[in-house]
Amino acid sequence: MPKNILVTGANGQLGSEIREIASGYAGFRFFFTDIRELDLSDKSKITDFIDKNKVEYVVNCAAYTAVDKAEDDVEICYLVNRDCVKNLAEATLNKAKIIHISTDYVFDGKGHRPYTEADGTNPQSIYGKSKLEGEQVLMNIHPESIIIRTAWLYSAFGNNFVKTMIKLGRERNSLNVVSDQKGTPTYAADLAKAILSIILFTEMHQSFPAGIYHYSNEGECSWYDFCLEIHKLAGINTCRISPVDTSDYPTKASRPMYSVLDKTKIKSVFQLEIPGWKISLEKFMAIINY
């Protein structure tokens, strides 16, 4: 019997990357839904869907991810990032295991070494606060869940920093990019593979090691370093990139200055190998049309 996996928010960056590789996992039957097929703000619909399709795993990729807009759209941000997660937790309790995705923005970014899962949280934005409350509500209601915090996600699907920098690099002669915020990019295709490896691990070992895990690509860089590498790989050499400080590029939501994630736990528990950010970026650039 195949295992039934529901992927929510499946039209987003991460959900779409899971959809791309799903056919390679023969023992699983996937259900991909986004807000139109399954609006997570309606708990009874989730319950019906889980029961009707005998769902055993939920990978929750649904989120409100517009970080700056969230400062004004507080209600909708909390609805998606906290209340929808609560609905999922209640609807799946004793029925399905949840793998939920969270963010490095739960940290304040004042640290100077990679954040571990044991480090204290202190989100500085509405988005970060709503995601942290989503984590907490999930663990309170359905503690047999896995939460994966990730960072700086990019993918062939949807909009992201990589695509924006390529576009701007082509249109402009010069660009200012923030160089005092450090983190690690994450190719969503790598995270998609890691998530399915976790489900395979669970099936193979009959054990679901619940808790919080960190996942990004390996290494660290600033947005400026990231942009330089993107332009190098895209062959853009007509655009001068200048490093600027966060204070020179004010945004509505404040972002962590340092949000590198320590991946020791996820690598050791699930025996995962994580590619370096430059290697994954190179792979990504080789497959997208730009």
Ligand X SMILES: NC(=O)c1ccc[n+]([C@@H]2O[C@H](COP(=O)([O-])OP(=O)(O)OC[C@H]3O[C@@H](n4cnc5c(N)ncnc54)[C@H](OP(=O)(O)O)[C@@H]3O)[C@@H](O)[C@H]2O)c1
Helices 188-205 and 277-287: angle between axes, nearest 10 degrees:
110
Q: How far is CA 42 from CA 2, 66, 83, 90, 196, in A?
A: 27, 22, 10, 12, 26
- For the question of residue 249 being annotated catalytic, the response is no
- Subset of 112-171 contacting ligand X (CB under 6 A): 131, 150-153, 158
Least separation, in Å, of the C-beta of 287 and ligand X?
18
Q: Give the residue, chosen from 5, 6, 7, 40, that forms a contact with ligand X under the rule CB under 6 A.
A: 40
Residue, CB closest to ligand X: 12
* Residue 41 within binding range of ligand X, rule CB under 6 A: yes
> Which of 127, 154, 187, 213 is the catalytic position?
127
Stretch that binds ligand X, among 55-63, 174-182, 246-254, 263-271 (CB under 6 A): 55-63
The tokens 């984590």 sit on which residue? 135
> Does residue number 12 form part of the binding site for ligand X (CB under 6 A)?
yes
Q: How far is the CB of 204 from ligand X (least distance, A)?
A: 26
Per-residue interface string for the shown chain with ligand X, residues 60-79, x marking contact by CB under 6 A: -xxx-x--------------
Q: How far is the CB of 159 from ligand X (least distance, A)?
A: 8
- Kindly indicate which of the ranges 12-20, 110-118, 193-201, 246-254 contains the residues binding ligand X, using the contact rule CB under 6 A: 12-20
When asked if residue 280 is in the footprint of ligand X (CB under 6 A), the reply is no
Q: Is 233 in the site for ligand X (CB under 6 A)?
A: no
Residue whose C-alpha is closest to residue 259's, from 184, 161, 147: 184
**8 in contact with ligand X (CB under 6 A):** yes
Q: Is 259 in the site for ligand X (CB under 6 A)?
A: no
182 or 203: whose CB is closer to ligand X? 182
Contacts of 109 (CB under 8 A, 6+ apart): 124, 181, 255, 256, 257, 258, 259
CA 85/CA 209 separation, integer angstroms: 20
- Integer Cα distance of 105 and 99 in angstroms: 18
Rounded Cα distance between 2 and 154, Å, is 30
109: contact with ligand X by CB under 6 A = no
How far, in Å, CA of 137 to CA of 97, rounded? 15
Q: Which of 11, 176, 246, 254 binds ligand X (CB under 6 A)?
A: 11
* Tokens 């990589």, located at residue: 162
Q: Which residues, at least 6 apart from 205, have a Cβ–Cβ distance to it below 8 Å? A: none
Residue 101 within binding range of ligand X, rule CB under 6 A = yes
Answer for the pair 162, 217: CB distance below 8 angstroms, yes or no: no
3-state secondary structure of 73: coil
Distance in angstroms (rounded) separating the CA atoms of residues 101 and 147: 6
Q: Decide: is 185 part of the binding site for ligand X (CB under 6 A).
A: no
Q: Which of residues 6, 70, 77, 80 is near ligand X by CB under 6 A?
A: 80
Footprint on this chain of ligand X (rule: CB under 6 A):
8-9, 11-14, 34-35, 39-41, 61-63, 65, 80, 84, 101, 103, 131, 150-153, 158
**Active site positions, annotated:** 127
